[in-house]
Amino acid sequence: TLATTLGAWVRFLGSGRSGFWWVVLGQAMAASGQPLLFNTPAALAAQWFPPSERSFATTIASMANAVGSGIGLSYTPILAGMETSGNATEGSSDGFGQGQAGWRGAEVDVGQEKLADMHGVLLWQAIVASGATVLVIVLFGGGEKRAEQPDGGAGRLWRTVWQCLRDRDFLILVAAFGLGLGVFNG
């Protein structure tokens, strides 16, 4: 969470006309914290919920992560007031304020007004990230473990990993998820 917040502020501070590399640096900083965030639901469930409720808690937290990402990706163009140009004709729209060129292959108007709008969006993202970081630190930082933890350790972890890698159904699930992720992000 801290890397994401610091990255958001670096992106905001570098969002002027000549700050491209600062924005890239901020994005890299934010991205460096993402693997830790994506592993949080299982750790949160293990720390705060009894074993009988951990699967459900992990599912809800994982879905909240995806829903939050969707909301963030949806509101950014709306807040920035971005419109595409290129193949679109004036006044044509697909219902989302986008011309016929759509999102892919369209050029984005980066005039001074739009740059100011994006600067404002990056400020809001940094403020929201800061607020979330403060909430995480206040609510979860340094707290005692609420649920009983099974005795395990590194040996048990590697045995479990090896068992998963030998499980045919698990490998099919990993392959299907990997394909879906690749198609979605490709």
Q: pLDDT (tens digit, 9 = 90+) per residue, 85-127? A: 444 444 444 444 444 444 344 444 555 555 567 778 888 889 9
CA distance 45 to 54: 5
Q: Are 143 and 15 contacting, i.e. CB atoms less than 8 angstroms apart? A: no
Mean pLDDT (the chain, rounded): 75
Residue predicted with more confidence, 50 or 65:
50
CA distance 110 to 97: 16
- Structural tokens at position 29: 């900083």
pLDDT bin (cut points 50, 70, 90) of residue 17 is low
Q: Are 129 and 12 contacting, i.e. CB atoms less than 8 angstroms apart? A: no
What pLDDT, in 10s, does the model give residues 134-156?
A: 988 887 776 555 555 555 555 67
Q: Are 26 and 48 contacting, i.e. CB atoms less than 8 angstroms apart? A: no
Is the alpha carbon torsion for 36, 73, 134, 146 positive or negative? negative
Burial class (CB in 10 A: 0-12, 13-18, 19+), 162: exposed
Question: What does the pLDDT read at residue 98?
Answer: 42
- How much of the chain, in percent, has pLDDT values that exceed 70? 70
Calculate the CA dihedral of residues 40, 184, 163, 41 and round it to 10 degrees: 10
Question: What does the pLDDT read at residue 131?
Answer: 92
Residue predicted with more confidence, 159 or 140:
159
Q: Where do we find the tokens 């992560």?
A: 65
Question: What does the pLDDT read at residue 182?
Answer: 80
Q: What pTM did the predictor assign?
A: 0.56
Region 56-70 average pLDDT: 86
| Cα–Cα–Cα angle for 103, 109, 114, rounded to 5 degrees | 110
Q: Residue 36 region, left (φ>0) first, then alpha (ψ -120 to 50), else beta?
A: alpha
